[in-house]
Amino acid sequence: MIKKSNRFSFSGHDSFQCRLMWLKKGYDFLQENNDFNTEAAGIVLGVGNNMVRSIRFWLRAFGVTNEQDQLTDFAHLMFGKEEGQGLDPFLEDEATLWILHFRLVAIGYASSYNLIFNEFRKNKIEFTRADYLNFVKLRLEERSLSISENSINEDFVVFIKMYLNQDGQRDKEDSFSGILTELGLLDFFVKQREDSKKESENVFFIAPDEREDIPEVAILYAILENETYQDSVSLSQLETDENSPGSVFALTRSGLSQKLRSIAKNYPAVVLSEQAGIRELQFKDKPQSDLILKNYYANQARYESV
């Protein structure tokens, strides 16, 4: 189960968005008993010291490592080389990217992602950088915390680079694009500033959508990894709860319902029921998320070999 971080942090990435191969690069680095704190780390990774810090940060943000820089079970499952591991080390399956997106939001080590998908976008589908800055300031005031405006602004820029796909091209290792641009979650348009007749500004949006392209395994994984969900969970919870599929994947109710019907059809342990007007997902025998992933990628491999 994913445990949410309770800290507020808007720095640590050194203004670098996570690149496509950084998670595997970082995994291999630690698996070979290297240490991020040594001067040789940059030489081994083939990057500058600021990128070393950034890779270390993103490993933690995606739950590839824990706070002690130890590789997690998820890390070995996705990137390992032992039998039953290495399900998608090069992030070639779209389901992997959706799962990574969920983990980034749900873990909350990088606070912006949890705040934007769980709270901010629900109150303001269209937003500017200034809108987000004001939102964060309010959240900080509620906790009697103070973080520099510059840090929040730089963090927002990294968020945009992580998700905004402007060229439609597959990321490459040395690309400036973020790891999650292919998901198509974020878009923008340009409008004239209200306080200026000459200047314009970017307006971003994460619109609720059917998202037919999300593999159902990513939805089921998000449900199984949510520690607040028991053997039955209502459609309303799955739509609006913190770190729910509806919140994290910006799904409409109809899109979510369709995914749940598909899950119930293809997974015998899952039942979609409706009693007294309440629709809920029920588990007859709740599966483990790692086994769900292993079965999914094994089936994908068999399909591709045909």
Q: Are residues 175 and 296 in the same domain?
A: no
Specify whether 220 is located in the same domain as 199: no
Query: Quick one: pLDDT band at residue 305, thresholds 50, 70, 90?
Result: low
Asked whether residue 98 is assigned to any structural domain, the reply reads: yes
162, 49: one domain: yes
Report residue 170's pLDDT band, with 50, 70 and 90 as the boundaries: very low
* Token pair belonging to 159: 């968020």
Question: Would the pLDDT of 197 be above 70?
Answer: no
172 has pLDDT over 50: no
Range of the domain at 258: 216-305
**Same-domain status, 195 and 140:** yes
Give the pair of three-digit tokens for residue 276. Answer: 């007294």
Pairwise CA distance, residues 148 & 125, whole Å: 25
pLDDT digits (tens, 9 = 90+) for 99-112: 999 999 999 999 99
The answer on 158 and 290 residing in a single domain is no
Contact yes or no for 13/57 (Cβ under 8 A): yes
User: Beta partners for 234?
Assistant: 280
DSSP 117: I
How many independent structural domains does the chain possess?
2
CA dist 260 and 97 (Å) reads 20
pLDDT in tens, 260-294: 999 999 999 999 998 877 899 999 999 999 999 99
What strands lie across the sheet with 278-283, from one edge to the other? 232-234, 278-283, 270-275
Structure confidence at residue 304 as a pLDDT band (50, 70, 90): low
pLDDT on residue 73: 97
231 part of a folded domain: yes
| Beta partners for residue 69, in sequence order | none
Residue 14's Cα: distance from chain center in Å? Answer: 19
Q: Last residue of some domain: 173, 205, 237? A: 205
The pLDDT confidence band at residue 120, using thresholds 50, 70 and 90, is: very high
157 shares a domain with 55 = yes
Q: Which two tokens stand for residue 47?
A: 């990057």
Adjacency order of strands within the sheet including 200-205: 126-127, 200-205, 187-192
Dihedral sign, Cα of residue 116, residue 288, residue 87, residue 281: negative
Mean pLDDT, residues 47-54: 96
Q: Mind giving me the DSSP string for 143-190?
A: TT----HHHHHHHHHHHHHHHB-SS-PPP-TT-SS-TTGGG--BEEEE
pLDDT over 60 (residue 306): no
Same domain, yes or no: 228 and 159: no
150, 170, 205 - which closes a domain? 205
Phi, psi angles (nearest 5°) of residue 239: -90, -40
pLDDT at position 177: 79
Can you spell out the DSSP letters for 6-42? ------SSTT-PPPTTHHHHHHHHHHTT--TTSTTHH
Mean pLDDT of the chain: 92
Do 221 and 97 sit in the same domain of this protein?
A: no
Residue 8 is assigned to a structural domain of this protein: no
pTM listed for this prediction: 0.94
Closest CA to 131 of 228, 201, 41: 201
Q: What is the CATH number of the domain that holds 258?
A: 1.10.10
Residue 11 lies in a domain: no
